[in-house]
């Protein structure tokens, strides 16, 4: 009985996967530094969470020059962050493929995990084919159920692609024209995830965007 009680009280993972554009254009106007700082602050906030229902697990996929897993799904309290560097093009399609592979891999994100949160941040146009990878992600079991948030950095971001990624009129795309707004967006992501982790129903729907964040309407 004791072993059963211990196992059932173990918190379930709440996966948060960030797809971060680190292409060369992110090097201007302090964008990459703002994104790096926002990620560090989010990890610090997640690390402070202590709840019996949900344990926040963070993963980061970067795409700039090539797409790669920058941080494997890791409990936030154990996450070790390494700075991101802007370089190359914008291979979003490859990043979406990595995200789909990750969320469907039961060794990396176990079956007992709560519904994942996917966060896409981009400041430009994809330089590879992204439509089919996005459709494959949205058609996957976990991808279809995931909460999907997105931020367009600057006027050159592909608004149509970001809207297709979110595909939820209750959660429009956020727009950041200056570096401080990147921080504000990740503060909202942090509050949204923390609210879910503390909820009696962590698989409930996320909060709506606060009015202070600019959005790209559908």
CATH number of the domain that residue 148 is part of: 3.40.50.410
pLDDT at 85 over 90: yes
Mean pLDDT is lowest, of 6-15, 94-103, 117-126, 141-150, for 6-15
Structure confidence at residue 125 (pLDDT): 95
- The pLDDT tens digits of the residues spanning 126-169 come to 999 999 999 999 999 999 999 999 999 998 999 899 999 997 87
pLDDT at 204 over 80: no
Structure confidence at residue 206 (pLDDT): 57
pLDDT at 58 over 60: yes
Structure confidence at residue 217 (pLDDT): 42
Average pLDDT, the chain: 88
pLDDT at 6 over 80: no
* Helices 131-139 and 159-166, axial angle in degrees (round to 10): 10
How far is residue 52's CA from residue 50's CA, in Å, rounded to a whole number? 7
114 within some domain: yes
**CB within 8 Å of 121: residues ≥ 6 apart:** 18, 19, 20, 21, 35, 150, 151, 153, 182, 185
- 3-state SS record for 149-176: EEEEECCCCCHHHHHHHHCCCCCCEEEE
Q: Count CB atoms within 10 A of the CB of residue 140.
A: 16
77 within some domain: yes
How far is residue 56's CA from residue 45's CA, in Å, rounded to a whole number? 10
- The pLDDT tens digits of the residues spanning 173-203 come to 999 988 899 999 999 999 989 888 887 666 5
How far is residue 148's CA from residue 138's CA, in Å, rounded to a whole number? 10
pLDDT at 216 over 60: no
Q: In the chain, how long is the greatest CA-to-CA distance?
A: 59
Domain containing 147: what range? 19-198
Q: CA 35, 118, 135: angle at the middle one, nearest 5?
A: 120
Mean pLDDT is lowest, of 48-57, 58-67, 127-136, 202-211, for 202-211
How far is residue 26's CA from residue 39's CA, in Å, rounded to a whole number? 15
216 within some domain: no
214 within some domain: no
209 within some domain: no
5 within some domain: no
173 within some domain: yes
Strand partners, 211: none
Structure confidence at residue 134 (pLDDT): 98
What are the helix (H) ranges across 48-152? 92-103, 131-139, 141-145
Domain count for the chain: 1
207 within some domain: no
Written as six digits, the tokens of 168 are 């939820």
Structure confidence at residue 170 (pLDDT): 77
């Amino acid at each position: 009985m004791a072993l059963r009680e211990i196992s059932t009280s173990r918190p379930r993972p709440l996966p948060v996967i960030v797809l971060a554009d680190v292409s060369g254009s992110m090097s201007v106007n302090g964008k990459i530094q703002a994104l790096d700082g926002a990620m560090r602050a989010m990890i610090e906030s997640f690390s402070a969470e202590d709840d019996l229902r949900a344990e926040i697990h963070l993963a980061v996929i970067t795409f700039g020059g090539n797409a790669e897993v920058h941080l494997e799904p890791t409990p936030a309290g154990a996450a070790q962050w390494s700075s991101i560097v802007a370089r190359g093009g914008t291979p979003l399609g490859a990043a979406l493929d990595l995200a789909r592979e990750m969320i469907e891999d039961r060794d990396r994100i176990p079956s007992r995990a709560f519904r994942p949160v996917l966060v896409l941040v981009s400041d430009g146009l994809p330089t590879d084919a992204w439509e089919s990878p996005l459709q494959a992600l949205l058609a996957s079991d976990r991808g279809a159920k995931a909460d999907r948030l997105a931020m367009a950095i600057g006027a050159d971001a592909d608004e149509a692609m970001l809207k297709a990624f979110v595909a939820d009129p209750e959660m429009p795309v956020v727009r950041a024209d200056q570096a401080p707004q990147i921080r504000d967006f990740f503060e909202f992501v942090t509050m949204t995830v923390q609210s879910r982790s503390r909820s009696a129903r962590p698989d409930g729907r996320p909060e709506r965007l606060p009015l202070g964040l600019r959005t790209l309407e559908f």
